[in-house]
Amino acid sequence: MNITEKITKYIDEHTDEMVADTMRLCAVNSEKGAYGEGKPYGDGPFKALCEAMDLCEKYGFDVKNYDNYVATADMNDKESGLDILAHMDVVPAGDGWTVTEAYKPVVKDGRIYGRGSSDDKGPAMCALYAMRAVKELGLPLSRNCRLILGTDEESGSSDIKHYYAIEKEAPMTFSPDGEFPLINVEKGQFRGSITKSFDSGLKAKDFVYIKGGTTINIVPGKAEARLKGFEINEITECAKAVEDSTGVSFSFCEEAGDVIISAEGKGAHASTPENGKNAAIALCTLVSKLTVEESERSAALKTLVELFPYGVTDGSGIGIKMSDEVSHATTCTLDIVEITETGLTAKWDARTCVSANEENCVEVAKKNVTSKGFEVETSFIPAHVVDGDSDFVKTLLACYEKYTGKKGECLAIGGGTYVHELKNGVAFGAVGDTTDTHMHGADEFMIIEEMKTAAKIFAEAIYELCK
């Protein structure tokens, strides 16, 4: 029996255990909580980390705890070769669950349902069982494979900053916190906050406020405005035209003599803004077209719409439109807008192509925005690229091809993963390339057959990279 056959047999025989261990972890509500002594991210992440460490010790791995930020499990005490980076924290449960409650995992129709099943507790167990397979099959290694389990991936990855302040990065790292085949390019992240103050007060016919969006990396699906001095019938014709051009719908009601406009669009992740319908920009567009009395506020609103026109997601309004063959086009979306009587705040999230830098992107945007009379603060994280022709990447893709029969290829994404700051880190699985696991949504799931395949791929990769 060759190594591939041995790995396949081992994982097939241990699938029920892998499922049970995944469900054990998914039963822990590991949403980020308040800091407590010895619990940097609250009770939930701490408990999940303890459960994971218990499993790693149970299966004979050398476990180390880094101040309850991160825990590691080592295959052996040899030279560092490969790190596998997963996480135990989860996004909030949210509403809309139908198959089960978020933290009462169940198996149904060949799937594990529960928060964290695909992000990232199930994939973490795929990695652990891959390590078990290599260890218990006695496959010879000359270098170490280390499983790193973090607890703050969903809220900024300060856990990993803590870990890498103590330990060196391995020569190779992959995170099973993405999708197959392999992600070797992650776009940069360029965010900006626009502000402007007003002291002129409200006019007789004016908007009292416009507000939309609460999270900078989510295209707002809802927005609201309040108008004074208007009747609803003065608004409907213009609203219909904006509805027709944007696909965002508007509804109206009267309150204390004012008109409240509610906008209903479609949310989307900031890395794929073209999949959404930005309710905030559509509402700003509508109000900018109404016959409000001219003022510093109304002029600022019109300028904001000029900088971020509805449906334009390439950043051309602020001068950062660019593209390259490696990572394709930059995207840009204005996701938070709040205009009151006294001030304006708006925030954008751009995912920049590999060729974007401080000079051709950040400074250009700042110049274009400030020239319109706004103040702006920005942050910029360059794109992450690992050579797709490296032996590391080629080995991972060969393992993927062996167990799936599919062509292995490198992908570029607009989102960021756990390995964005690592020199030689890629995202590799564990979700299938065509599967939507409802990650971050209600009824999140992980397909058990895909877990088996991922565990086999990972085991082969550990052997090939560390033998």
Mean pLDDT per block of 10 residues along the chain (467 residues) reads: 96 98 98 95 98 98 98 97 97 93 97 96 98 98 98 94 97 96 96 94 93 93 96 94 97 96 94 95 97 93 98 97 93 97 97 96 98 97 95 98 96 89 95 88 95 98 98
Do residues 45 and 33 touch, judged by C-beta distance below 8 A? yes
At which residue do the structure tokens 């405005």 appear? 225
In this predicted structure, what is the pLDDT of residue 10? 98
Is the backbone peptide bond immediately before 120 cis, with ω within 30 degrees of 0?
A: yes
Q: Check the CA dihedral 117-400-411-381 and report its sign.
A: positive
Fold match, 3-186+385-466 / 189-381: no
In this predicted structure, what is the pLDDT of residue 6? 97
In this predicted structure, what is the pLDDT of residue 415? 81
In this predicted structure, what is the pLDDT of residue 456? 98
In this predicted structure, what is the pLDDT of residue 200? 77
Side-chain half-sphere of 224: how many Cα atoms within 13 Å? 6
206-212/222-228 β-pairing: antiparallel
Q: Which two tokens stand for residue 213?
A: 């969006």
Do residues 216 and 238 touch, judged by C-beta distance below 8 A? no
To which H or E segment does residue 397 belong?
helix 391-404
Give me the residue spans of the domains in the chain: 3-186+385-466, 189-381
In this predicted structure, what is the pLDDT of residue 269? 87
In this predicted structure, what is the pLDDT of residue 416? 82
In this predicted structure, what is the pLDDT of residue 277? 97
Side-chain half-sphere of 66: how many Cα atoms within 13 Å? 19
Tell me the CA distances in angstroms from 254 to 10, 225, 261, one per residue in order.
67, 12, 9
62-66/111-113 β-pairing: unpaired
- Which pairs from 366-371 meet CB under 8 Å and 24+ separation? 366/192, 367/319, 368/307, 368/318, 368/319, 369/192, 369/194, 369/307, 369/318
Q: Which two tokens stand for residue 120?
A: 């990232």
To which H or E segment does residue 394 belong?
helix 391-404
Note the Cα 113 to chain centre separation in Å.
Answer: 20
Does CATH number 3.40.630.10 belong to domain 3-186+385-466?
yes
70-74/182-186 β-pairing: unpaired
Note the Cα 196 to chain centre separation in Å.
Answer: 30
d(CA 423, CA 384): 8
In this predicted structure, what is the pLDDT of residue 417? 87
Is the backbone peptide bond immediately before 181 cis, with ω within 30 degrees of 0?
A: yes
pTM reported for the whole predicted model: 0.85
Does CATH number 3.30.70.360 belong to domain 189-381?
yes
